[in-house]
Chain A
Amino acid sequence: MATTTAAITLTSADLLTDALSLSATNTLYKAGSTVGLDQTTGMARVHLTATTVVDIFPQLIEASIALKINLHGFIFVTNQRMKLNLLQ
């Protein structure tokens, strides 16, 4: 079983009057279980030159019916740097 971990930290020394230091870490499991996700599309990098709508996750769209039923997927997107989506 694969073990995949996602972590986020939000930090700021001056957004509030006190320091903001939020951290959360989670292992990515299949829906309703403790079995790790075992599939991923891998990371893609795309340079867009138009402002038209682009489907960046055709795999997810094709699988959307199944995902809506009871599967568990995660999407990770960053602007200008890299793109990755993980799905069951």
Chain B
Amino acid sequence: MATTTATITLSSLDLLSDELALTTTSTLTNAGGATGVTQASGLSRKTLTYDSDAEIIHTALHRAGDYAADKANKVYIKNTSTTPAEFFIIKVGDESLGRLYAGDWAFFPWSATSGTKETFVVTATGTVAVGESWEFDGITTVSASTALNTFAAAVSAQVYPNWTTIVSSAAVTFVARYAASDGVITGDTAITGDVLVESGDGNFTMPITGGTAGAGASSQSDISILPSVRTGMTYETMLIHE
């Protein structure tokens, strides 16, 4: 069992009329127990730079879907800037925790409550001809055979930017990489964003099953940051988790 210790000290000789000297130490344990936490993301450091102010966007540091919910996770974030006016806005989901100005750091618990990853099943149906294709998420699969299962396997073998896949016979299950309402599923027989190119005989289709039951929902607790300037601000972060 790992033993990890966090100590915070607040001190001032002149904030109050008496000295402020507060120190608290805690051994980081799993939720509801005395077993030490055993996993950590490692301390990472990244500089965010943008070409224009309009391009500044929230950057996800830790996605709730990647971790167990309602555990004793702890997040450390530091703004390494030395320019007093530069700050990061720290957000958990849509909620702003506050600003981290130059040199500031934060250490706080994180429930990592995730949303729902959108999912649907596409099944190669009918008669597929060599050269017919199906495009989704910017990835096009061209059939090299007349076997539906082979085409489905080829679709599943692709690497999609926003989806993972599992194939079973002629059916390919798509699962979003991140919890969100992607809006891809529009009903039981259609998805948004796919392009089917078939030879004209009308025999080849790629209908979905699973329908709206697979609709996703955004995570309300992803941790993200927003820099105040575009000219290069650096943060450090570490996640200690179960």
Residues of B within 8 A of A33 (CB): 84-85
Please determine whether B101 and A29 come into contact, CB atoms closer than 8 angstroms.
yes
How long is the Cα–Cα vector from A2 to B221 in the complex, in angstroms? Answer: 35
**Interface size on A (CB < 8 Å)?**
41
Chain A residue with Cβ nearest B24: A78
Interface-side segment among B6-14, B46-54, B56-64, B194-202: B6-14
**Interface size on B (CB < 8 Å)?**
40
Which of A3, A6, A14, A78 contacts B14 (CB under 8 A)? A3
Residues of B within 8 A of A12 (CB): 2-5
How long is the Cα–Cα vector from A40 to B9 in the complex, in angstroms? Answer: 16
Please determine whether A76 and B103 come into contact, CB atoms closer than 8 angstroms.
no
Residues of A within 8 A of B13 (CB): 3
How long is the Cα–Cα vector from A82 to B5 in the complex, in angstroms? Answer: 18
Q: A6-B9, A8-B6, A12-B2 in contact; A22/B76 too (CB < 8 A)?
A: yes
Query: Chain A binding site: helix, strand, loop or mixed by DSSP?
Result: strand
Chain B residue with Cβ nearest A34: B84
Residues of B within 8 A of A22 (CB): 43, 76, 238
How long is the Cα–Cα vector from A14 to B22 in the complex, in angstroms? Answer: 27
How long is the Cα–Cα vector from A25 to B46 in the complex, in angstroms? Answer: 20
Check: B31 CB closer than 8 A to any chain A CB: no
Interface residues of B (CB under 8 A from A): 2-16, 20, 22, 24, 26, 36-38, 40, 42-43, 76, 78, 84-85, 87, 96, 98-99, 101, 103-105, 107, 238, 240
